[in-house]
Structure 1
């Protein structure tokens, strides 16, 4: 993997594959670049793809204190490596980070693709607790990594508690435990956008073409949030991806790459 230094000295690791316009893939919670390897391979037929480990994950290092602004600077550092102008794709909480980066980096982003930003803007789903990040940090400090993943799954994802035991038997649970100490980062990225209140009208300044997409089979609250952010953005558009759900990046990379390609290439 390649390494670029962010503004604060943090080393950000990334894979670079393909040729063509630059695309950066921004990972969601409990994920590193490996989750999007197949998607990156499909996209590399049309783009130069930068698939990176967010700070504190995979081969990237971390700083002693966290701020969302530092993650924006990480993306900016990769943009500079890519020639100063890119398309951004983010899924789930990674979509919200991509949105934040686009808002702050202005004309360094050509187009923005958001897949299922997990906003909770009404009573369509139980909101995330106001002390969510604080409770996660307490669990991590107490070395209760599995409990932290459980809390993330039930509180942020909304998975019923009775589904957790079978999930723990899957090897992916150990991987999520290894990244549990970064769950609070995504909680801070989401900020108060999972409170059940309407999205703030003045938080994001994005004036480029932005596609917000949800899977047809995804929960209604994800569709509500996607429509809301698309309506707020100057050139936002919401579309539904037939037959898919929140897992499409990993489970159907061919489908996901096709719609990404069409959006980023179209005039």
Structure 2
């Protein structure tokens, strides 16, 4: 059996670390070699990037934290902000000794902020970081309605509100009645719940996390220039079919980051780095993993 095959068959170990505010953060580790921390995006947990972790595990020790409020990690607590995300990542880096970090979407913005203040981070790769530079009032204005619907127990309606607010669906969604979208979402959630195994992260269980993702996006919006002081080398990744409103941020970051490389994957969308699932049928984590391998291997050899 080759080292790659051994890594693919190895079961991840689960460990815990305590963040600065006392919150317990779970992380799963697999593989051997220099450490990489893979941070998942919105409506995901650490388990959403297992395919990418397994593709890298023959050359790296891959650590997959559950961001707070998800999986086996503790709750958000009071005063949530990007600082909490940075502190959680800092705790994992200190515990594991890892120096390479990957983030996607909302966690991509948190990772870039962490790279400004954490010397332990030597190289960073981000896939379509959710840095909002255009139409910020519209892209963050959904949070109040989302909160009201969640408080009223209307989870399906709240999910529709977030999808429309963040323009996550195809353009035709903007012309469909909200009632129809809510009904379709309810059917999808019902099917997911029916097939879910104990402990699975479902849309219903992850829905409350969207409030905090909205808070994070609003906090970090409208200011790409803050990242001009990032000393780590940065790999900017995206797909040609990614979210259009995130492309201005990629272009701006490419101009201002001191040590930066940009790669666009033809035909890939915003969910390309995550495992293939019913909700993410176009996932291509093996392609993203190959680019991470190239980028982080160069770092490991230097």
Considering the TM-score relative to the shorter chain, is it more than 0.5? Answer: yes
Q: Distance in 1 between matches of 2:224 and 2:18?
A: 32
DSSP-derived class of the 2:159 partner: helix
Q: Distance in 1 between matches of 2:38 and 2:124?
A: 11
Contact 1:206–1:233 (CA<8 Å) still a contact in 2? yes
User: Residue in 2 aligned with 1:7?
Assistant: 20
Q: CA 1:207 to 1:86, structure 2 compared with 1: closer, same or farther past 3 Å?
A: same
Q: CA 1:200 to 1:118, structure 2 compared with 1: closer, same or farther past 3 Å?
A: closer
1:143 pairs with 2:153: yes
So what's the TM-score if we normalise by structure 2?
Answer: 0.78
DSSP-derived class of the 1:188 partner: helix
Contact 1:112–1:211 (CA<8 Å) still a contact in 2? yes
User: Residue in 2 aligned with 1:37?
Assistant: 50
Q: Distance in 1 between matches of 2:245 and 2:55?
A: 29
Structure 1: any 5+ residue segments left out of the alignment? none
Q: CA deviation at 1:173?
A: 6.3
Q: Rg bigger for which structure?
A: 2
Query: Map of 1:153-232 to 2, 5 A cutoff?
Result: 153-159=163-169, 160-161=173-174, 162=176, 164=181, 165-171=183-189, 175-191=202-218, 199-202=223-226, 205-232=229-256
DSSP-derived class of the 2:263 partner: strand
Query: Map of 1:4-153 to 2, 5 A cutoff?
Result: 4-65=17-78, 66-83=80-97, 85-105=98-118, 107-122=119-134, 127-129=138-140, 131-153=141-163
Q: Distance in 2 between matches of 1:177 and 1:157?
A: 20
Q: CA deviation at 1:140?
A: 2.6
So what's the TM-score if we normalise by structure 1?
Answer: 0.87
